[in-house]
Amino acid sequence: MGSSRWRRLVNTLSTLFLPVGFPGSVRPEYLTYQIWDTVQALCSYLRGIFSTRAVLVSVGVGDSNASAMSAAVTWILRDGAGMVGSLLLSYGAGSSFDAHLKEWRLFADVINDVGLTLDMLAPHTPRRYFGLVLGLGTVCKAMCGVSAGATKSSITAHMALTGNTADVAAKENAQETFVTLCGILAGLLIAQLFDDKYSDGGDAGGDAGGGGDAGGDAGGGGD
């Protein structure tokens, strides 16, 4: 009975996440590529949670003295910088995506890491450089989107052996959706742990400084 249930589970997961006819319907390197792509996507999603948190803090979320209009303008300029970056990359490198497929796919992951790192550094940079750092981070992530999107279709077509490009693309989308769900759950747990840690540290700092108000005044002086 247990063996039968296990087989049904395996068959269900295979139907959900693997192309029809696997492994004969895809290239031999398909599984290895998808495993590493999944690990990379999960790590990027988790880092993205912390970078988003850093960006929100840097534009004033949670700060009673922050201006909503100032935060909105900062966010609009950030998005605008990303759009300009994606247009420039499309213009300058559009003809080389097919010729240098692997290099551009690797570039997408590396430049995404750079963008996430800049986002996390933004709240800790001097105010006069804040907009520049935040804008550069968005440009890097926009360049990742262009290069990853441009190479994805070619990689999918390469992996499909039996004219099943649409099926391979659909199963990759299912894999990415599952990874995103796992990333959401893991990210919520990790973010909660970090928030609790910083909250406890803040309370302790406030007590040591002579109360919460004193701790808040000390923090405001650092700004």
This prediction's pTM: 0.76
pLDDT value at residue 63: 66
| 50-54, 129-133, 212-216, range with greatest mean pLDDT | 129-133
Residue 13 lies in a domain: no
Q: What is the per-residue pLDDT for 138?
A: 94
Instruction: Note whether residue 206 is domain-resident.
Output: yes
Say if 17 falls within a structural domain. no
Structural domain containing residue 41: 30-222
| Residue 6 lies inside a defined structural domain of this protein | no
- Whether the pLDDT of residue 5 is over 70: the answer is yes
Cβ contacts of 128-133, under 8 Å, gap ≥ 24: 130/58, 131/74, 131/77
Residue 221 has pLDDT above 50, yes or no: no
The total number of structural domains in the chain stands at 1
Cα angle 123-195-62, degrees, rounded to a multiple of 5: 50
Does the pLDDT of residue 200 top 70, yes or no?
Answer: no
Report whether pLDDT(49) > 50.
yes
Query: pLDDT band at residue 66, thresholds of 50, 70 and 90?
Result: low
Query: Would residue 16 count as lying in a domain?
Result: no
- What is the rounded average pLDDT of the residues 175-186? 91
Per-residue pLDDT band for 199 (boundaries 50, 70, 90) equals: low
Confidence of residue 60 (pLDDT cuts 50, 70, 90): confident
Q: What percent of the chain has pLDDT over 90?
A: 51
Q: Is the confidence at residue 220, as pLDDT, over 60?
A: no
The mean pLDDT of 140-149, rounded to a whole number, is: 94
pLDDT at position 48 is: 84
**Residue 156: is its pLDDT beyond 90?**
yes
Q: Output 50 or 34, whichever has higher pLDDT.
A: 34
Q: How far is CA 106 from CA 17, 150, 182, in A?
A: 24, 12, 24
Long-range contacts of residues 113-118, Cβ cutoff 8 Å, at least 24 apart: 113/44, 113/47, 114/140, 115/51, 115/139, 115/140, 115/141, 115/143, 115/144, 116/44, 116/47, 116/48, 116/51, 116/141, 117/51
Does residue 15 lie in a domain region?
Answer: no
Question: Minimum mean pLDDT among 83-92, 145-154, 172-181, 199-208: which range?
Answer: 199-208
Residue 23 covered by a domain: no
Question: Closest Cα partner for 132 from 51, 74, 84, 86?
Answer: 74
pLDDT of 213 over the 50 cut: no
Kindly state whether residue 22 falls inside one of the protein's structural domains.
no
